[in-house]
A and B are shown apart, each in its own frame.
Chain A
Amino acid sequence: MELFGLAPATWLPVVFAGLMGLAILMYVVLDGYDLGVGLLLGGARDEGERDAMIASIGPFWDANETWLVLATGLLLVAFPLAHGEILTALYLPVALMLVGLVARGVAFKFRTKMAPGSKLSWDRAFLGGSLLAALAQGWMLGSYILGFRGGWDAHLFAAVTALGLAAAYGFIGACWLLLKAEGELQRRAAVWARGALLFAGLGLVAVSVATPLVSERVFDKWFSLPNVVLLAPIPVVTGLLLAGLWVALARYPRPGDRWAWVPFAGAVAVFGLAFQGLAFSFYPYVVPGSLTIWDAAAAPESLGVILVGSVFVLPMILAYTAFSYWVFRGKLGELRYE
């Protein structure tokens, strides 16, 4: 089937790159706040606070994590060649991330169901799992940006992105708590959000500066005319947003809990812009500098079969996801099913 005079083998990979991008962005935003809340457990004062923090993500995290399965799944089914190459190159960080996600996921359930004495240990596993997963994902991002290059400078860069992404998750997690928590916990969530914002912002600047310096292709893409003018809004808006959030967060929570959703919305916007910048830097490569989306794509007839289904199913997924956020709107302090 031709679209705007383009053959399916030309436009289908672009559509699937878009879908995969959407799935990755959904994952980093949604499971990002889950993992962030997990990291912030380290700052909780007592068991009651930890219960409240974990309750705030309880009804959502299963579905949030599913976006990772969709993202990997789309990479696997739409770009099978890239899937093999990327996952083989990232074998170790992937394994570490999986151990982290497993620890976090099971701690969720075990902490309330096992004998009370072991609850603290499971909370530590929750925090440790979240930290390991966040750092491993950040490391993978750094390693991906450099095209899986080795060497100490590449590892240093990956370490910076690992810390940066963990801070970004902490930031969005704190914004989530600002929205969902009450009282003292909410007050401290504002402080955490500011602290994490600082580190996340530094990480973002470091990655944005380093990426064009280490990759000539990325440099040319951003700093040639007219791109440099057309793209300027991305870093400028991101910078203004971060500065605005930094100033505003000092005044949170507001009297009567007004505007509680604003920092979270701001965090989502920052994630979206940063993702936009990365996506622009790498398009049309799915493995930086080696495989384009057309090189790596599966056969058009198979992509077509998936696309037909996703046209119907994805809107349904978004609809019932929205339904679940509507059911669990408001403060969730009392949420439990024991």
Chain B
Amino acid sequence: MLEDPVLLARMQFAANITFHILFPTITIALAWMLLFMKWRFSRTGDGAWMELYRFWTKVFALTFSLGVVSGIVMSFQFGTNWPGFMNTVGNIAGPLLAYEIMTAFFLEAVFIGVMLFGHGRIPNWAHTAATALVAVGTTMSAFWIMVLSSWMHTPAGFEMRDGVAHATDWWAIVFNPSMPVRLSHMLLASGLTAAFLVAGLSAWRWLRGDRAPAVRLGLRTGIIAGALLIPVQIVVGDVHGLNTLEHQPAKVAAIEANWETQAAVPLVLFALPDEEARENRFEIGIPYGASLILKHDPQGVVPGLNDFRGEHPPVAPVFWSFRVMVGVGMLMLAVSWLAAWQLWRRGEPSPLVTRALVAMTFSGWVATVAGWYVTEIGRQPWLVYGVLTTREAASDVPAAMIATTFVGYMVVYTLLLGAYVGTLYYLAGKGRRADVTAEGPGAVPEAGEAAAEAALGRPAQA
């Protein structure tokens, strides 16, 4: 297995892209949450909002850096791992990537400097504007990369000349059939990831007895954001599934582990799909379930894998990733609504629900990564659906060299991920430690006010 350079290149790229997506998934939505906190502070003058803003700004800065450095690695791997990608569809992918760099990367990179270090050097409104521009930048970045990603799933607006794709209609390329739903699904996933991170880390501080007003606000903000976003995400996810059924039926067949095209297909809850025997072992299903979900009709005909023999994705990883994603989504619904209800009735979540929130701090990561595996593994063996296979796009770099650098990247990423999570908890624990060493009960609000004063900003120094 480890002698196949294509598989190694895929593993290496998958490791990088998995590591990378963790951070933008947080920053895209956290940027807007920061703007919300800043706006609440400007409106109410309540120092707790500013304290919340400052805490999450630190998290944002750390997360953003990890996203940037891992993104740079990826930008090189397009060329080192998949030279055939740019050689074949570079005329389409190139301008989309160029627009991402020009309209998003510089915007967020320049204004994050102003946002982090601008306190006291620029007026408060300009600082709020810088925060807004960072949020616009992260979202623009998501927009362009999702345009490219969805074009790779549902290519449109091009023609092939001598084996190379040429753009014929940029409008059709940008607004390709799966772009709107895919972008919405990703932005909502980012919102949920950030919401559960904010709620989870605040809940952790809450359980440790850190009851500062900012912690309460963080808990509320995270819970309410999660409770509002999850039902929308479930609806959008359903629409996305129908879109995939229309454009990539083989992927849906793998998601459902449905081997034969037939009517009245059950929804398989558990099974061990066996590609050799082309059947499921230990299958547990709900009768008519898949037909109902996909066709909204118990007798609906659902495509089967045997129609795509040799051209469908590996079944088990797609099947299982999908169930992980949906399972986490259901948990998110249960926990956030329960917490929101308790918040409304009693003003704070019960200790049990608070513990559940702590356990779900990184649930957004699990769901997002699982969702990406569904859609990306589900596109195999194609890299660009119906246009270019992954194997055709691979480089001829020797397997040994890919394997060596792969191990290197993995070591670095594991260390960094550990350091990142450790630092989040260190930062979250710092408030409590400062509280303990402070002289009296009044110390915390005072600290909040001092922070607020600093943030309100003196006019720019001459």
Point out the residue from A108, A114, A313 that lies within 8 Å of B65, measured CB to CB.
A108
A317 touching B106 by the CB < 8 A rule?
Answer: yes
Q: What chain A residues lie within 8 Å of B395 (beta carbons)?
A: 84, 88
Nearest CB in chain B: distance from A43 CB, A: 25
Interface string of A62-87 (1 = CB under 8 A from B): 11011011101110111011011111
Q: What chain A residues lie within 8 Å of B58 (beta carbons)?
A: 113, 337-338
B102 touching A324 by the CB < 8 A rule?
Answer: no
A76 touching B119 by the CB < 8 A rule?
Answer: no
Residue B91, interface by CB 8 Å? yes
Measured between alpha carbons, how far is A80 from B87 in the docked complex, in Å? 6
A302 touching B94 by the CB < 8 A rule?
Answer: yes
Measured between alpha carbons, how far is A76 from B112 in the docked complex, in Å? 26
Measured between alpha carbons, how far is A335 from B114 in the docked complex, in Å? 11
A306 touching B95 by the CB < 8 A rule?
Answer: yes
A80 touching B86 by the CB < 8 A rule?
Answer: yes
A324 touching B113 by the CB < 8 A rule?
Answer: yes
Point out the residue from A99, A114, A309, A328 that lies within 8 Å of B419, measured CB to CB.
A114
Interface string of B114-147 (1 = CB under 8 A from A): 1011110110000000000000000000000000
Residue A98, interface by CB 8 Å? yes
- Selecting from B73-81, B179-187, B269-277, B301-309, the interface stretch reads B73-81
Residue A257, interface by CB 8 Å? no
Residue A3, interface by CB 8 Å? no
Interface string of B205-228 (1 = CB under 8 A from A): 000000000000000000000000
Interface string of B253-272 (1 = CB under 8 A from A): 00000000000000000000
Residue A115, interface by CB 8 Å? yes
| CB nearest neighbor in A for B86 | A80
Residue B443, interface by CB 8 Å? no
| CB nearest neighbor in B for A75 | B79
A114 touching B422 by the CB < 8 A rule?
Answer: yes
Q: Which of A35-74 contact B (CB under 8 A)?
A: 58-60, 62-63, 65-66, 68-70, 72-74
With known contacts A63-B109, A69-B101, A77–B94 Cβ distance under 8 A: yes
Point out the residue from A63, A76, A336, A338 that lies within 8 Å of B90, measured CB to CB.
A76
Q: What chain B residues lie within 8 Å of A247 (beta carbons)?
A: none
A327 touching B427 by the CB < 8 A rule?
Answer: no
Nearest CB in chain B: distance from A91 CB, A: 6
A113 touching B427 by the CB < 8 A rule?
Answer: yes
A98 touching B76 by the CB < 8 A rule?
Answer: yes
With known contacts A73-B97, A113-B427, A324-B114, A313–B103 Cβ distance under 8 A: yes
Measured between alpha carbons, how far is A332 from B426 in the docked complex, in Å? 27
B78 touching A76 by the CB < 8 A rule?
Answer: yes
Measured between alpha carbons, how far is A62 from B112 in the docked complex, in Å? 8
B83 touching A77 by the CB < 8 A rule?
Answer: no
Interface string of B314-346 (1 = CB under 8 A from A): 000000000000000000000000000000000
With known contacts A91-B80, A110-B423, A77–B97 Cβ distance under 8 A: yes
B119 touching A105 by the CB < 8 A rule?
Answer: no
Interface of A is mostly: helix
Residue A321, interface by CB 8 Å? yes
B111 touching A106 by the CB < 8 A rule?
Answer: no
Residue A208, interface by CB 8 Å? no
Q: Which of B84-111 contact A (CB under 8 A)?
A: 86-87, 90-95, 97-99, 101-103, 105-107, 109-111
Q: Which of B33-92 contact A (CB under 8 A)?
A: 54, 57-58, 61-62, 64-66, 68-73, 75-76, 78-80, 83, 86-87, 90-92
Interface string of A89-100 (1 = CB under 8 A from B): 001101100110
B62 touching A58 by the CB < 8 A rule?
Answer: no
Q: What chain A residues lie within 8 Å of B427 (beta carbons)?
A: 113
Residue A102, interface by CB 8 Å? yes
Residue B170, interface by CB 8 Å? yes
Q: What chain B residues lie within 8 Å of A74 (beta carbons)?
A: 98
Residue A109, interface by CB 8 Å? yes
Residue B412, interface by CB 8 Å? yes
With known contacts A313-B103, A337-B116, A301–B91 Cβ distance under 8 A: yes
| CB nearest neighbor in B for A313 | B102
Q: Which of A254-293 contact B (CB under 8 A)?
A: none
Nearest CB in chain B: distance from A83 CB, A: 5
Q: What chain B residues lie within 8 Å of A323 (beta carbons)?
A: 110, 114
Interface string of B429-462 (1 = CB under 8 A from A): 0000000000000000000000000000000110
Q: What chain B residues lie within 8 Å of A327 (beta carbons)?
A: 114, 118, 121-122, 460
Measured between alpha carbons, how far is A301 from B69 in the docked complex, in Å? 32
A298 touching B91 by the CB < 8 A rule?
Answer: yes
Interface string of B273-298 (1 = CB under 8 A from A): 00000000000000000000000000
Q: What chain A residues lie within 8 Å of B116 (beta carbons)?
A: 58-59, 337
Measured between alpha carbons, how far is A113 from B60 in the docked complex, in Å? 12
Point out the residue from B71, B94, B101 that lies within 8 Å of A298, measured CB to CB.
B94
Residue A231, interface by CB 8 Å? no
Q: What chain A residues lie within 8 Å of B355 (beta carbons)?
A: none
Nearest CB in chain A: distance from B121 CB, A: 5
A88 touching B80 by the CB < 8 A rule?
Answer: yes
Residue A229, interface by CB 8 Å? no
B95 touching A305 by the CB < 8 A rule?
Answer: yes
Nearest CB in chain B: distance from A163 CB, A: 23
Nearest CB in chain B: distance from A332 CB, A: 8
A72 touching B76 by the CB < 8 A rule?
Answer: yes
Q: What chain B residues lie within 8 Å of A70 (beta carbons)?
A: 101-102, 105-106
Nearest CB in chain A: distance from B423 CB, A: 5
Measured between alpha carbons, how far is A113 from B102 in the docked complex, in Å? 30
Residue A228, interface by CB 8 Å? no
With known contacts A69-B105, A70-B102, A73-B98, A59–B90 Cβ distance under 8 A: no
Nearest CB in chain A: distance from B371 CB, A: 26
Point out the residue from A65, A84, A110, A313 that lies within 8 Å of B109, measured CB to CB.
A65
Apart from the given pairs A337-B54, A337-B61, 15 other A-B contacts in the complex at a CB distance below 8 Å: A59-B116, A65-B72, A77-B95, A84-B86, A84-B87, A88-B396, A99-B408, A105-B66, A105-B68, A113-B58, A114-B419, A306-B99, A309-B102, A327-B460, A336-B117
**12 CB-based A-B contacts, threshold 8 Å:** A59-B117, A59-B118, A62-B64, A66-B101, A73-B101, A77-B93, A95-B408, A299-B167, A328-B113, A337-B58, A337-B116, A338-B58
Residues of chain A having any CB pair with chain B under 8 Å:
58-60, 62-63, 65-66, 68-70, 72-74, 76-78, 80-81, 83-88, 91-92, 94-95, 98-99, 101-103, 105-106, 108-110, 113-115, 298-299, 301-302, 305-306, 309-310, 313-314, 317, 320-321, 323-324, 327-328, 330, 335-338
6 tightest A-B contacts by CB? A77-B94, A84-B83, A59-B113, A80-B90, A87-B79, A80-B86
